[in-house]
């Protein structure tokens, strides 16, 4: 079921991307070629990030590294590798990056909102025990040792899914504010939706990390929160740069 959810999220993204690209008169061959490399690189990056995070386990079970059916896809790995692949592809094809990146910024939170439900079926991404009615049952074998006697936990996957959906709806509103063009939201320039996504998701993930039970830390620092801060700063810088009086921003 995990694989089906991920596949479904990709299919939905491709469907919406084709519709939005057509609306913007973007080359469909460039779109599908780019999405192939973005998706492939994103899957590799997501798995690699997860494997490195849980290396103590995978070093003893190397055959499971390529077994995606058991779950284990880290979104930050997908974002880093996917965005890098997309930018390289656009450069190779000599495309104006700002003509395309808003598609990614708009569709990423939608794909994430759907993909997070894979965590539900695998009983992953849960927080501390809770007595709230929407708490999710976690089987004993997947509970942290210190919480073995608890049955229901905060469904962090649900919280993040809903927040990603809200972010998508906000970005869709920005995208469509001026007759569905990329020159939108009171004159925001092309590329602004992408950087709004970086800042928005960075904030979501930063605060979500406080609720996680298995946060990856290096030298006592939460790696996901460090990446989140970098995303927020990159988003703010990108928006300011694009919408400054610098005429070279669109290039």
Find, among 122, 112, 124, the residue nearest to 202 by Cα: 112
- 69 marked as part of a ligand binding site: no
Strand ranges (DSSP E) for 81-227?
Answer: 136-137, 152-153, 217-218, 221-222
Angle (nearest 5°) at CA 126 between 169 and 208: 50
Residues ≥6 apart with Cβ < 8 Å to 75: 46, 112, 115, 205
* Sole residue written with tokens 């190397």: 62
Residues in the chain: 251
Report the binding-site residues: 116
């Amino acid at each position: 079921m995990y694989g089906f959810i991920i596949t479904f999220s990709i299919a939905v993204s491709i469907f919406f991307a084709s519709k939005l690209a057509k609306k913007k008169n973007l080359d469909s061959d460039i779109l599908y070629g780019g999405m192939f490399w973005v998706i492939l690189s994103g899957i590799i990056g997501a798995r690699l990030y997860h494997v490195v995070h849980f290396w103590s386990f995978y070093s003893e079970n190397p055959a499971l590294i390529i077994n995606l059916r058991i779950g284990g896809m880290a979104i930050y790995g997908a974002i880093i590798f996917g965005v890098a692949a997309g930018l390289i592809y656009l450069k190779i094809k000599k495309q104006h990056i700002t003509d395309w990146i808003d598609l990614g910024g708009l569709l990423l939170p939608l794909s994430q909102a759907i993909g997070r439900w894979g965590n539900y079926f695998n009983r992953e991404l849960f927080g501390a025990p809770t007595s709230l009615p929407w708490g999710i049952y976690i089987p004993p074998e997947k509970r942290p040792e210190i919480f073995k006697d608890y049955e229901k936990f905060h469904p962090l996957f649900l919280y993040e899914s809903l927040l990603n959906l809200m972010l998508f709806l906000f970005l869709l509103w920005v995208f469509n504010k001026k007759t569905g063009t990329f020159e939108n939201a009171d004159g925001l320039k092309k590329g602004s939706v992408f950087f709004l996504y970086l800042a928005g998701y960075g904030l979501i993930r930063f605060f979500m990390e406080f609720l996680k039970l298995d946060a990856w830390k290096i030298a006592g620092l939460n790696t996901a929160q460090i990446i989140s801060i970098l995303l927020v700063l990159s988003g703010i810088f990108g928006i300011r740069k694009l919408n400054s009086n610098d005429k070279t921003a669109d290039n």
